[in-house]
Amino acid sequence: MRFLRNFSFSIGFLLFLLLLIPTTGHAQEGQTYEVSSAVLNVRSEPSNNAEILGLLSKGNNVMVFQEKYGWVQTYYGGQVGWIAKHHLIPTTNNQPANDNVATTTTQTLESVTITANGVNIRTGPDTSYSSIGSTYAGDTYHLVATEGDWHQVSLANGSKGWVASWLTDKATTTGNTTQSTPVHTVDDDSTVNTGGSLAGYNIVIDPGHGGNDPGAIGLGGVYEKDLVSSTSDIVVQQLRDAGADVIVTRLGDYYISLDERAQISNSYNTDAFISLHYNAFPILGVQGVSTYYSSDTDHQLAQSVHSSLVSNVNLNNRGIIQEHYKVLRSTYAPSILMELGFITNPYDLSMIQTSDYQYKVAQAITNGLINYFN
Ligand SMILES: [Zn+2]
């Protein structure tokens, strides 16, 4: 694999990066270690009898999360892997992420919980302001300010947005307007879906992981499921702006099985299914974006969307890869799984966490689909 070569890892840059990472409340900081033996097995379970998933070599930096029976957990090729701890040396300045982050936040401890599905997050305290995303029953945010019937909340990507207070557990009045939309059928009240380039197409967006399944855990304890959710919100909004009918498999932070994700897609007349993920790898130098497809009939979709992606974003191009992932195999519609960068790579993560990057991803998916259908 071409990426398995020496890389230098700047502690200074990492500390800078940690300042940019918002507190997530459930942050579980990763610790970095250096591999001290010539070759080190990564296994599927914390045991010498467990299946070998891959190999690390001397000098590789790895990020670990939990420890069990003298083994530590990391990620290898997007899946959980275990390595024997006695072959690892802690790297210097192994400072917990939260020490840096705590001083940068001045949020109140007050929070609001959304009580309806498909609630718009807007740029200002009125329905005339444009929507920058949607949020769902059970989602909780830090309350920043209240103006009239609207609450300003801080978002996972570090920016702020406004939600109608009557759609939260902290209503300021008994408003009779409703912004809620039924689960899985997400026609935005603010968007006129006529005449767009994607009008008439049903697109399923599948934000990976959720609930008890955080997905990969990246630098500073950032969770894949959270980044995938914020990216998905922007993707969904842009697709709707282009006229598409968008169905979302996971409407909040909860667990949903791969079969259920496929069933949601299969119960609609779906034209394209796109599963969104961020990648992780124990070697922090590994970076870039890739797109996976399963059957040959999905290849064209993968090609259209991936080429649009790599021309739109500034991360390494790891290419289009055929892999028979269950969620792709079980979905009848043309389907792809996108790995939108490595949250274990300092450069990738610094890009991924910006809303600018997530908007570029959304634009790329939208354009890729327009090319695909035409
Ligand atoms: Zn994933």
pLDDT digits (tens, 9 = 90+) for 230-289: 999 999 999 999 999 999 999 899 999 999 999 999 999 999 999 999 999 999 999 999
Predicted pLDDT at 70: 82
What angle, 0 to 180 degrees and rounded to 10, lies between the N-to-C axes of helices 355-373 and 224-241? 50
Predicted pLDDT at 293: 98
Confidence of residue 157 (pLDDT cuts 50, 70, 90): low
Question: Could you tell me if 60 and 126 lie in one domain?
Answer: no
Question: Could you tell me if 131 and 159 lie in one domain?
Answer: yes
Distance 275 CA to ligand 1 centre (A): 9
Q: Are 125 and 162 in contact (CB under 8 A)?
A: yes
Residue 315 pLDDT more than 90?
yes
User: Considering 95, 115, 149, which residue would you say is the last residue of a domain?
Assistant: 95
Predicted pLDDT at 100: 36
Tell me if residue 69 falls in helix, strand or coil: coil
Predicted pLDDT at 156: 67
Q: Which residue has the higher pLDDT, 33 or 276?
A: 276
Predicted pLDDT at 258: 95
CA distance 207 to 236: 10
Predicted pLDDT at 189: 36
Predicted pLDDT at 292: 98
Distance 371 CA to ligand 1 centre (A): 26
Confidence of residue 174 (pLDDT cuts 50, 70, 90): very low
- What DSSP string runs through 260-284? HHHHHHHTTT-SEEEEEEEE--SST
pLDDT tens digit sequence for 321-336: 999 999 999 999 999 9
Classify residue 249: in a domain, yes or no: yes
Distance 44 CA to ligand 1 centre (A): 17
Count CB atoms within 10 A of the CB of residue 65: 17
Predicted pLDDT at 48: 82
Question: Could you tell me if 117 and 60 lie in one domain?
Answer: no
Question: Could you tell me if 246 and 351 lie in one domain?
Answer: yes
Distance 40 CA to ligand 1 centre (A): 24
Domain holding 221, by residue range, is 202-373
Classify residue 34: in a domain, yes or no: yes
Distance 214 CA to ligand 1 centre (A): 9
Distance 137 CA to ligand 1 centre (A): 23
- What DSSP string runs through 178-218? -----TT----TT---SS-TTTT-EEEEEE--BTTB---B-
Indicate which CATH number applies to the domain containing 263.
Answer: 3.40.630.40
Strand partners, 162: 122, 152
Predicted pLDDT at 121: 81
Predicted pLDDT at 25: 32
Residues within 5 A (CB) of ion ligand 1 = 208, 215, 277
Distance 192 CA to ligand 1 centre (A): 32
pLDDT tens digit sequence for 182-206: 334 334 333 333 457 999 999 999 9
Question: Could you tell me if 158 and 223 lie in one domain?
Answer: no
CA distance 368 to 365: 5
Question: Could you tell me if 317 and 216 lie in one domain?
Answer: yes
Q: What is the number of domains present in the chain?
A: 3
Question: Could you tell me if 120 and 50 lie in one domain?
Answer: no
Predicted pLDDT at 149: 82
Residue 225 pLDDT more than 70?
yes
Residue 350 pLDDT more than 60?
yes
Distance 291 CA to ligand 1 centre (A): 12
Distance 343 CA to ligand 1 centre (A): 11
User: Considering 95, 129, 150, which residue would you say is the last residue of a domain?
Assistant: 95
Distance 342 CA to ligand 1 centre (A): 10
Q: Which residue has the higher pLDDT, 91 or 294?
A: 294
Distance 326 CA to ligand 1 centre (A): 13
Distance 218 CA to ligand 1 centre (A): 12
Question: Could you tell me if 350 and 225 lie in one domain?
Answer: yes
Question: Could you tell me if 227 and 367 lie in one domain?
Answer: yes
Q: Are 13 and 346 in contact (CB under 8 A)?
A: yes
> 122-131, 251-260, 261-270, 296-305: which range is least confident on average?
122-131
Question: Could you tell me if 220 and 336 lie in one domain?
Answer: yes
Distance 144 CA to ligand 1 centre (A): 31
Question: Could you tell me if 148 and 293 lie in one domain?
Answer: no
Predicted pLDDT at 109: 62
Distance 52 CA to ligand 1 centre (A): 20
Q: Which residue has the higher pLDDT, 20 or 124?
A: 124
Could you tell me what percent of the chain has a pLDDT over 90?
47
Predicted pLDDT at 191: 37
> 149-158, 299-308, 345-354: which range is least confident on average?
149-158
Confidence of residue 126 (pLDDT cuts 50, 70, 90): confident
Distance 276 CA to ligand 1 centre (A): 7
What angle, 0 to 180 degrees and rounded to 10, lies between the N-to-C axes of helices 299-312 and 355-373? 140
For residue 276, count CB atoms less than 10 angstroms from its CB and return exposed for 0-12, middle for 13-18, buried for 19 or more: buried
Residue 17: its H or E element: helix 11-20
Confidence of residue 158 (pLDDT cuts 50, 70, 90): low
Distance 61 CA to ligand 1 centre (A): 21
Please name which of 33, 46, 120, 53 lies closest in space to residue 83, comparing C-alpha atoms: 46
Classify residue 323: in a domain, yes or no: yes
Classify residue 192: in a domain, yes or no: no
pLDDT tens digit sequence for 60-117: 777 777 888 788 888 776 678 888 887 788 775 443 333 333 333 333 467 888 876 6
Predicted pLDDT at 180: 37
CA distance 174 to 248: 29
